[in-house]
Amino acid sequence: MKKTQLLLLALLLCFHSLAQDDPYLWLEEIESEKSMEWVQNQNAKTKKAVESAEGFTALKDNFLKSMNDDEKIDYPSVVKDMVYNFWKDENHVRGIWRRTSKDLYMKNEAKWETIIDLDALSEKDNAKWVFHGATWLEPSFERCLISLSDGGTDEDVVREFDVTKKEFVKDGFELPSSKGGAVWVNENELLVARYFGEGSMTTSGYPRIVKRLKRGQKLENAELVMKAEGDIMGLWPGSSYVNGKRQITLQKSYSFYSHDVYSLEGEEFIRLDLPKDSELQDIYEGMTLVRLNSDWEVNKVTFKSGDLVAVDHELLSKGELKVSLAFRPDSKTSVEGVSVTKEGVLLNTIQNVKSVLYMLNFSKGTWEMSEVETPEFGRISIISSDREDSEYFYQYSNYITPPTLYCKDGANTIVVRQGKKKFEADNLEVHQYEVNSKDGTTVPYFIIHKKDLKLDGSNPTLVYAYGGFNVSVKPGYDTRTGIGWLEQGGVYVVANIRGGGEFGPSWHQAAMKENRQNAYDDFYSVCEDVIERKISSPKHLGAFGWSNGGLMAGVVATQRPDLFNAVIIGAPLLDMKRFNKMLAGASWMGEYGNPDIPEEWEFIKKYSPYHNVHKGTDYPEVLIVTSTKDDRVHPAHARKMAARMIEQEHPLYYFETIEGGHGASSTNEQAAFNQAMMFTYLKMKLM
């Protein structure tokens, strides 16, 4: 045989072996006729079941009314003396990008001027545009790069827009649809990370090439700035305008938690001598603010994992290190976000899963810190801030208190907007409990229920968690759960399991790779504590998770089917043998491990839901939700799991939105249907 024939035979044998192990590989063909026929058949069954259920239509109408409410908070993005806002309602299904003067906005007398009408643009372009935001050209703020996604995918097109003329720039910058990014170098040049042709993307599906594109130049003729290896996660440009100077960076990510950062100094990109797992936050007083995820020894001083440190930027660019400690959290605290204002460094922290704000200042060589007076026991989000202004906007809410938008300027704080009550909460109460997990670790959770709750084990209860990627789940107003569950008489539990960032890097790292089971054991401990308190029982207990949380939901349904009578598995990873070969999956090996390494597959296969569902086992009748247009977590995870369960004669519900991306909806109408479907399912199973 010739060499090419032998190679072809080897590939055929390999594919045959894969097909024997996995009979549902064909469902990985996202929009093939066979796959879509299967999807439509499953959708029809689920839609028929939920739409005929009592209360579905009323619930959907309530969700849609809430989403289309023209009195909801119009969140500000402040640009010089103007406020920009993106808005959806029943007349603007895909939304409008609009602006008003800051003066009128603050007086609550906004006269909105539409800048881009996404519905009109979608009709003109024969597309289903989803707004991904604007990247401004500072300091004039007269032009920006608009990112638009067709159908809600992570891919988007980029077009130059003139906000003065309210039109896309004729013959301006325009980039085809791709994952990646584009930032301004100056008014006539961009740094661009895109798809440049075969071989230009990593195995994770992100750019490995960054080019410098000049105005009027064809993309293929742009100057190569950096080309990375194909097996890294991706390469991304960054740009900020600080004290009259543009700061240009490149981040070369090997995984979610390992990267090199390069800074443009003159005409050369210099690699900054920072820990690979550290995270750049902002620039303040000539110092680069960095959050550490591991200990770092500099000049015989050890800075701790979780610390916020300040590094002299000029010396850093020369390969020297001068580092000071800006903030050190305790074991119950983590740094959530950093924003530089004219007044100082605004530090958003989480203390025992509740937000606390601080203002940091560097004076005469030392850091000073003062707590910002805010409402307590809730979630605080910084909405808009500017390093050239002492004024900033933040939002506060908790599980039963609607959002309030505040503006703070020095010692003065005013209420700018007060969110409407979207569900009845006067008869609700919130508690925070703790329970010991399997290995003795203390795990906190919140529970929201009616004040007259009977402790007889009969209360329909939904338990939510995420538990991954250093993401913290904080107590905020959840209209979805309020309307769909709490008002219906349900109990809602939020478990702050390991894998999240609630207590800093160690809380996250305790559930990475070979320690992944800790997150699931934490979840079971919370559920068992809820049962032990006689709040609920397995007959009335449900679990819910989305994305990484969807993986968790798939795990708990297959590992502990005895605990639940309903499980919503949303936008999930489920086939953990092939997750690194589908779409962005390779980028998550830093979190889960590499299933192609036998030693790592040994711990992954123990929880991979697709490999741990078996004929003859009594599982809860799950609801699996995904989207055809999800180009982050491949819809085949959900499809293949459903197909295998159907083959094994396990009853289930499956629904796949045809557009919507990772969130499974692009419009309020789609979102209202999805929410009504999920909570109707929960009522059918748990009430």
**Residues with catalytic annotation?**
547, 662
**Three-state secondary structure call for residue 391:** strand
Q: Rounded to the nearest 10 degrees, what angle do helices 33-51 and 636-647 cross at?
A: 70
Buried b or exposed e, range 102-115, using 16+ CB within 10 angstroms: beebeeeebeeeeb
How many whole angstroms separate alpha carbon 663 and alpha carbon 652?
21
Question: CA angle 203-206-207, nearest 5°?
Answer: 110
Beta 461-464 vs 491-495: how paired, if at all? parallel
Q: What pairing do the DSSP bridges indicate for beta strands 566-570 and 623-627?
A: parallel
Instruction: Answer yes or no: are the C-beta atoms of 664 and 51 closer than 8 Å.
Output: no
Locate 445 and state its tokens.
């959770």
Prior bond to 139 cis, omega within 30?
yes
Structure tokens at 100: 């008003």
**Gap between the Cα atoms of 584 and 588, Å rounded:** 8
- Summarize the chain as % helix, strand, coil (round to 5): 25, 35, 35
Q: Which residues contact 400 (CB under 8 A, 6 or more apart)?
A: 425, 428, 429, 430, 448, 477
Q: Is the dihedral of CA 284, 349, 467, 50 positive or negative?
A: negative
> 550: closest CA among 627, 643, 440, 665?
627
Would you call 687 helix, strand, or coil by DSSP? coil
Question: E strands within 63-197?
Answer: 77-79, 82-89, 92-101, 113-117, 129-136, 143-150, 156-162, 167-168, 174-178, 181-186, 189-193
| Distance of alpha carbon 251 from alpha carbon 639, whole angstroms | 34
Half-sphere exposure of 133 (CA within 13 A, CB side): 8
